[in-house]
Chain A
Amino acid sequence: MESRVVNKGQISELLDKLAKDYNLFAPVKDETMTLFRRVSGAQDVLLDYNNSDISPKGCFLPQNEKTFSYMYTGDSLEINKPEGAQKTVLFGARPCDIKAVLTFDPVFEGVKFGDEYYSSKRENSIIIGLSCTKVLSTCFCYAMGGGPCDITGSDLLLTEIGDKYYVEVITEKGQALVDAYSQIFAKQDTAQLAKDKDELAKKLSGEFVRKVDLTGVKELMDNNFELPYWSGDDQKKCISCGICTYVCPTCHCFDIFDYTTGDFTGDRIRCWDSCMYPEYTLEAGGHNPRPTRKERIRNRFMHKIKYHLDRYNMVGCVGCGRCVIKCPVNIDITKIINDLKEVAQNA
């Protein structure tokens, strides 16, 4: 498809317009944190950031979501579902986080199970990606099939070049948006900008310091559920908190429960859950199939590097590096992948 140009000076105007016409989610500064929030205009938006502390996955899978409310009056049960999602723009998300949304799609819009709450948000959303300008020491998107300027999953991808944003139109949704705001998305000769973007992508791809290689790891996992490796230091040092799963852009487990006020009226809520919690697999009879940190850690990493591949032919990790940064005890998925690769080679 085509490409366009936005002058940096017009970004505020664009954001203000988008906030007026859509529910606009964009990165904002909240004290020391960079988080995706609904914004009312350009004034709150922060575009000069490395990576947000929490991914924008909440736009599609909010941490708390009411699925319906119910009222039982003695002889009738009334169920009220929330209305479908409003038109939304997710602006300024990084390529890794956008790729992560694609890993949700087959889960929530699969052949077997469709999730109307997710689909409604996904259908009504436009994703405007923003290429990275810097590679952190914890980044490894390249090893997961992505890249700092990767267009995958975006409807539009903006790349900052000098005083302009080079805009790649990737989908029809993106095309409709640039046409609707054509006074901002200028039609110009973009040949030089395209070249500049390629150079930026090339430059950034040389800046990754984490060497991660998935080759052979899944095959090892396919044939070895029990490995002595899982009894090592990682399960000893893990504190069973939910940080890695909550900051992960691809983790999507949830719990469902009723939030009642004591009578027969209430809401059915779904909220994020974490496979790192001991209660996650606790069964009503008291049995827990993942009784210790060993089984829980194995599950989390197997999900990323095997189960998601088995089910959907996609790696369940996009290399954003958040779990690496935030884990209180420095459990590091890149180290685990490399260790497993070594185990595979010596097997």
Chain B
Amino acid sequence: MMNLAQQLQEQAKKLLEEKKVDLVIGFGQGTELARNTPVFIDSPEGVSALTWGPFCANNLAKYLSDYNNAPGGTAVVVKGCDARSVNRLLDDNQILREKVVVIGVPCPGQLEWQKVSAEIKPGSTLKEVVDNGDSYTVKTDSGDYSFSKKDYLLHRCLVCENPNPVISDITIGKELPVKNYEERFAEVQDLEKLAVNEKSAYWDKQFTRCLRCYACRNVCSVCTCEVCVFDQMMPMWVSKRTNLSENTAFHITRAFHVAGRCVDCGECDRVCPMDIPLRKLNVKIHKDLGDLFNSPTPGTEPGLISPLGGFSPGDPEEFM
């Protein structure tokens, strides 16, 4: 039986050979054993670079809008969370359905590469990764290493809502059960319990560290503005100077701008070089959207109207 990577390669090859797409965006081996990297394959001979495993953290749907104006179609490899991005991009008219082929892979969780890397002998070569349910065994030429999912998965994966892609033209692998999704608000609930000044102190501490590298914004699949307000010089809404006030203005504006559109892929949180727990801001907004508007996570189904992006004459206007 073929492993998932081989199945992926075969499907990608077929799509390219039959000219259904000109490009396949997938994951390839990165420069660290426990790291994969986006690869862009434009010929059937190139598909051997495609891989799959628990080191595929990136949300590749982000790249789809780069190829809107390409003459041919684009295929993209997505996990469950990334598939929500595809729905969201379609709803925002950022991509054309007929130009995109979604290759969905049910995902049993992505590992934090640095934590894994720290345990493996430097310079080792990856042979195979085995999913044991509650843990992964990473087999290398320097021996086998075991990583419990509880301790080594990205936090977003521990409370995953959609291990199975919510939109998919070609699905590779078996459907997986949803686990621990009910615990998704635990962290936020802990924060909610704090007094206002304690919450403020918590976020002040986080935002003070911000370098304003804008990785959180740039990696975000629903950040699609052609010119971002933070890049405008005239007027300069937020100064280039970093300080708590400017940094807070950036983060709060960013969180609100994606409210109702954020698909909770957790990429902002993963890429932050200063470990600012950005996902907590978004999850709090998701919780409120659920509580106030009974709204599901954006992107979980196509055509969802965001509570903050829709208009209904029947809306109550309690605040007026």
A269 touches B241 (CB 8 A): yes
B40 touches A279 (CB 8 A): no
Known: A239-B62, A328-B215. A33 touches B275 (CB 8 A): yes
**Complex Cα gap A332–B32 (Å):** 10
Chain A 257-297, CB-CB to B under 8 Å as 1, else 0, gives: 10100000000010111100111000000000000000000
Task: Please name all residues of chain A whose beta carbon is closer than 8 Å to the beta carbon of B62 when the two chains form the complex.
Answer: 239
A47 on the B face (CB < 8 A): no
Give residues of chain A (241-258) contacting chain B, Cβ–Cβ below 8 Å: 241-243, 246-247, 255, 257
**Complex Cα gap A272–B233 (Å):** 16
A64 on the B face (CB < 8 A): yes
B114 touches A329 (CB 8 A): no
B270 touches A236 (CB 8 A): no
B31 touches A332 (CB 8 A): yes
B122 touches A242 (CB 8 A): no
A246 touches B40 (CB 8 A): no
**Complex Cα gap A328–B267 (Å):** 9
B218 touches A271 (CB 8 A): no
Give residues of chain A (100-128) contacting chain B, Cβ–Cβ below 8 Å: none
Chain A: how many interface residues by the 8 Å CB criterion?
Answer: 45
User: Shortest beta-carbon distance, B215 to chain A, in Å?
Assistant: 4
B242 touches A135 (CB 8 A): no
A241 touches B218 (CB 8 A): yes
B31 touches A330 (CB 8 A): yes
Which of B236, B239, B243, B270 has a CB less than 8 Å from the CB of A328? B270
Which of B58, B243, B270, B271 has a CB less than 8 Å from the CB of A241? B271
User: Shortest beta-carbon distance, A120 to chain B, in Å?
Assistant: 21
Task: Please name all residues of chain B whose beta carbon is closer than 8 Å to the beta carbon of A255 when the two chains form the complex.
Answer: 240
A8 on the B face (CB < 8 A): no
Give residues of chain B (31-53) contacting chain A, Cβ–Cβ below 8 Å: 31-32, 35-40
Chain B 6-50, CB-CB to A under 8 Å as 1, else 0, gives: 000000000000000000000000111001111110000000000
* A binding-site residues for B, Cβ under 8 Å: 30-33, 35, 53-54, 63-64, 135-138, 207, 209, 233, 236-237, 239-243, 246-247, 255, 257, 259, 269, 271-274, 277-279, 324-326, 328-330, 332, 334-335
Known: A31-B205, A243-B271. 14 other contacts (CB 8 A): A33-B209, A53-B273, A54-B274, A137-B122, A241-B271, A242-B214, A242-B215, A259-B241, A269-B241, A277-B214, A328-B219, A328-B270, A329-B37, A330-B37
List the 7 shortest-distance A-B pairs measured between CB atoms, nearest first. Answer: A209-B123, A241-B215, A328-B271, A330-B37, A242-B213, A137-B122, A332-B31
